[in-house]
Amino acid sequence: MVKKAPRRTAERILEVTLDLFNRFGEPNVSTTLISAELRISPGNLYYHYPAKDELINALFDRYERSLNELLGAADGVRNVEDAWFFMHTLFELIWQYRFLYRDLNDLLSKNRRLETAFQAILKNKTRAVRSMLDGMGRNDTLHIDPRELEATATSMVVVLTYWLSFEYVRDPRRALEPDSAQAALLRGAHHVLNLLMPYLEAEQRLHLLRLVGAYAPQAEG
């Protein structure tokens, strides 16, 4: 049996750091804690990532690459079912890097690179949501006045971006724990898409209600 090559230390550091940031929040995790969790010396950690900001930036780079790839799928959304899957997948990615959203304001105030990069992310999210709405309009599943499209897309991005913060305020002790993930993501997808309810074609409106109903037991947690 061929033995697997050991994972590179730099990769292990990022995996453990992401887990710790997600569990405890980035401000509460020191490089000392990270090295202790990895059972490596602080010097070994600093060799790969000389500062905590470099860990944050490396994780953010991973998130940004995955997000931009995923946002490209917005062009293929044609109906409520497509939109539901697209939004839920977005929330899954946000959950995977939830420390960014849990501590967003704090991170932006301390990290100039993230401050600039997150502005670009908001623009890309808004562009993707507009593309999704355009596609649904062309497919006659959505009828929205062009004058309302921009505000609706922005509102959807606001909910998408701050949903986990809302969940955290609702239940700080449990909201961002792994066993709460599915319920939180389903509620998020529901509330983002509910903003489209006034503009959906009648059958699509019913289909969204059926989707929400089908997932309601899971969403209640």
What is the per-residue pLDDT across 154-193, written as a single tens digit (0 to 9) for each? 999 999 999 998 998 888 888 888 888 988 999 999 999 9
pLDDT of residue 216: 58
Instruction: Answer whether 35's CB lies under 8 Å from 52's CB.
Output: no
Strand partners, 200: 142
Report pTM.
Answer: 0.89
CATH for 7-50, among 1.10.10.60, 1.10.390.10, 3.40.50.1100, 3.90.226.10? 1.10.10.60
What is the per-residue pLDDT across 37-96, written as a single tens digit (0 to 9) for each? 999 999 999 999 999 999 999 999 999 999 999 999 999 999 999 999 999 999 999 999
pLDDT band at 218 (very low <50, low <70, confident <90, very high): low
CB atoms within 10 A of CB 129: 27
pLDDT of residue 6: 45
Domain-wise residue ranges, the chain = 7-50, 53-219
What is the per-residue pLDDT across 99-139, written as a single tens digit (0 to 9) for each? 999 878 889 999 989 999 999 999 999 999 999 999 999 99
Q: Which residue has the tokens 């897309």?
A: 153
Instruction: Answer whether 160's CB lies under 8 Å from 185's CB.
Output: no
CA distance 84 to 99: 24
Q: Output Rg (C-alpha) for the chain, integer angstroms.
A: 20
Instruction: Answer whether 42's CB lies under 8 Å from 31's CB.
Output: yes
- Pair of tokens at residue 2: 């061929």
Superfamily of domain 53-219 in CATH is: Tetracycline Repressor, domain 2 (1.10.357.10)
pLDDT of residue 3: 46
pLDDT band at 4 (very low <50, low <70, confident <90, very high): very low
